[in-house]
Amino acid sequence: MAERRVNVGWAEGLHARPASIFVRAATASGVPVTIAKADGSPVNAASMLAVLGLGAQGGDEIVLFSDADGAEVALDRLAKLVAEGLDELPETV
């Protein structure tokens, strides 16, 4: 299973707009991904309600997981998005 640990780069955490950006990116990756706070249970990264339910704040460590083909690239891209607090998924890592 591929895993990436990253700190949330959005000052407001994974709330509203940042969560929406993340969920769209996770869905667009075409790879099933789960996300969890470092000490929490994983949830579906493509679910807006699940991601909001994490309550991840800026600076919190989150963990991204996937065991699908293409997971390494997908998780690298999602980790970069979260860590840098980007407004959209980068085309390249």
Looking at residue 93, what is its pLDDT? Answer: 46
Spatial distance between the Cα atoms of 51 and 13, rounded to a whole number of angstroms: 11
Pair type for strands 61-66 and 34-37: antiparallel
- 2-84: CATH number: 3.30.1340.10
Looking at residue 91, what is its pLDDT? Answer: 63
The answer to whether the predicted template modeling score (pTM) of the entire model surpasses 0.85 is yes
pLDDT in tens, the chain (93 residues): 899 999 999 999 999 999 999 999 999 999 999 999 998 999 999 999 999 999 999 999 999 999 999 999 999 999 999 999 988 765 654
Spatial distance between the Cα atoms of 93 and 91, rounded to a whole number of angstroms: 7
Residues classed as catalytic:
15
* Closest alpha carbon to 34 in 74, 7, 81, 92: 74
Neighbours of 46 (CB within 10 A): 20
DSSP 8-state secondary structure symbol assigned to residue 10: S
